[in-house]
Each structure stands twice: as structure tokens, then as C-alpha cells.
Amino acid sequence: GQSLEQPSEVTAVEGAIVQINCTYQTSGFYGLSWYQQHDGGAPTFLSYNALDGLEETGRFSSFLSRSDSYGYLLLQELQMKDSASYFCAVREDDKIIFGKGTRLHILP
């Protein structure tokens, strides 16, 4: 079956760096995406990795290792506004499968 595993909660301090991991198990794989969702809001796209390696977009970076079926989202210079839920998602043929989300708590 298909599954994505990510931690349910992570806590970090403002200004620090945090890594949110995602492991996946799917029958087919095209790429790994990350989405951010604030309370009461809609998911918004952050990044996408189709190939192994690190993709950097400002304070956010995303990494993929296809051989390990593993990826992570790295958030640097954490700000209070980064408090949100983060979802990894995998495209398998025509379907997008989302992980259950990681709630990021940021302490001042």
C-alpha cells in the first residue's frame, strides 16, 4: 500500500534551524512535494523534488533521496510566522498522496 510517514509535531526556537523528515512507500513515484498550512488556511506549495539532492528557495530547502525513499524540509532562521503544519506529498500516477502533516511549534 501507499504510505507517507512524518513526525506529528516538532518544536524549535525562533532563529534556529529545523528539519522535518518524510519517508514514503509507494508503488510508483514521480516526485516529493512540501506544503505549508496555517491554522484556518489552505495548503500552499513550498517545494518539489523529482531528482535526488537539495533544492533551495530562500529560507526553505528540500532534500530527496530516491534510493532511501526519504526526503526532508529544512527551515532556517525560523520566524514565528513559520508556525504551521507542513505536509509532504507524493505523486503516484494520477494521484497526490499527502502525509498526515507535521505541526511546527516555534518558541520565542
Residues engaged in binding another protein (CB under 8 A): 30-31, 33, 35, 37, 41-45, 48, 50, 85, 87, 89, 91, 93-98, 100-101
3-state helix, strand, coil in the chain (%, to 5): 5, 60, 35
Instruction: Please give, one letter per residue, the 3-state secondary structure of 1-29.
Output: CCEEECCCEEEEECCCCEEEEEEEECCCC
Whichever of 14 and 102 has its CB closer to another protein, that residue is 102
Q: C-beta of 1: minimal distance to another protein in Å?
A: 13
Whichever of 16 and 105 has its CB closer to another protein, that residue is 105
